[in-house]
Amino acid sequence: MQEKPVAVVTGGVRGIGRAIAEELVEEGYHVVVTYCNSEGQAEKMRELFRNKVDIKRADVSNQDEVDTLFNDIMEHYGRLDVLVNNAGITQDKTFHKMGANEWHQVIDVNLNGTFYCCNRAIPVMREKNFGRIINISSIVGQKGNFGQANYAASKAGMLGLTKTLALENAVKGITVNAICPGFIETDMVSAIPDEVKTKIQDEIPMKRFGTAREVARAVRFLASRDAAYITGQELNINGGLLTH
Ligand code: CAA
């Protein structure tokens, strides 16, 4: 069995996921990172983190691929301590223009992908009486966003799942929390049209976008033993854009 604790970060070769993987490596975890399409970034990360990070291709919206991923992890390492459900996509369109395809793709990756991973992780964690699950939701799941009905629904769904899993697994030493980032400097935010981006930045009380590192540090804390009494929570990292 792997001596170091094992953490899985989905969608972890770029953006927020990459920063989370780096923080967890620094904290002493053996980190398994998944990616779906970013082959180039996966290769770069493989070279940089040889022996420290295990980088696997898995489409989290495909239950068979998620099953293979978790079977491999258990076979190789025999343990699973932390799961960070970070893999996510957008397909922004105003709702009256949105087709079923855009709806299903986003729900399949963001929400169903989280379900498939939790579905495999929870039984292992229950057996060990220990586990940390951190779901990367979004401010958009809390307040909605113009052009993001599909994404907002997926991220709000993650919050309901988080709270229920927290209740059901509290007595088994498993904590389940969500992080709700606001607008963070990533490829996803870069893709927002310039005039919309300026408007959003203007509305943020701190007048800037967040950094992936600012999100990753919070994940590192929630994954730690120090966060043992925190479960079922939504942690907002949004520069004051939503306060509640
Ligand atoms: N608020 C109010 N009005 C808006 C608006 C907004 N945020 N965005 C667009 N509109 C308005 C436009 O000004 C335009 O108005 P007029 O017709 O009066 O000129 C109208 O809506 C355009 O509507 P359409 O249906 O024609 O929309 P479109 O096809 O041009 O595209 C859009 C609309 C896809 C929503 C595009 O504006 C866009 O990509 N917006 C960014 C969406 C966004 O914020 N995404 C966040 C990505 S980051 C992320 O998701 C990470 C996270 O967790 C936060």
CA–CA–CA angle 154, 131, 164 (5° rounding): 40
- How far does the centroid of ligand 1 lie from the alpha carbon of residue 222, in Å? 33
- How far does the centroid of ligand 1 lie from the alpha carbon of residue 145, in Å? 9
- How far does the centroid of ligand 1 lie from the alpha carbon of residue 94, in Å? 7
Does the model's pTM come out above 0.85? yes
Residue 241 located in a structural domain: no
Model confidence at 41: pLDDT above 90: yes
Mean pLDDT within 85-111:
98
Residue 242 located in a structural domain: no
Catalytic: which of 29, 35, 151, 229?
151
Which residues touch 107 (CB under 8 Å, ≥6 apart)? 150, 153, 154, 157
Ligand 1 neighbour 188 (Cβ under 6 A): yes
Domain count, the chain: 1
Residue 243 located in a structural domain: no
Residue 1 located in a structural domain: no
Nearest Cα residue to atom 27 of ligand 1: 94
Instruction: Determine contact, residues 32/54, Cβ cutoff 8 Å.
Output: yes
Residue 85 located in a structural domain: yes
DSSP 5: -
Q: Kindly state the helix (H) or strand (E) to which residue 48 belongs, with its residue range.
A: helix 39-48
* Domain extent for 232: 6-236
Per-residue pLDDT tens over the stretch 99-155? 999 999 999 999 999 999 999 999 999 999 999 999 999 999 999 999 999 999 999
Mean pLDDT within 182-193:
95
Nearest C-alpha neighbor of 244 from the set 120, 159, 134: 159
Atom of ligand 1 nearest to the CA of 97: 25
CATH number for position 110: 3.40.50.720
Nearest Cα residue to atom 34 of ligand 1: 93
Residue 190 located in a structural domain: yes
Model confidence at 2: pLDDT above 80: no
- How far CA 27 is from CA of 6, 16, 48, 205, in Å, comes to 11, 17, 17, 31
CA 14 – CA 6 distance, rounded (Å)? 20
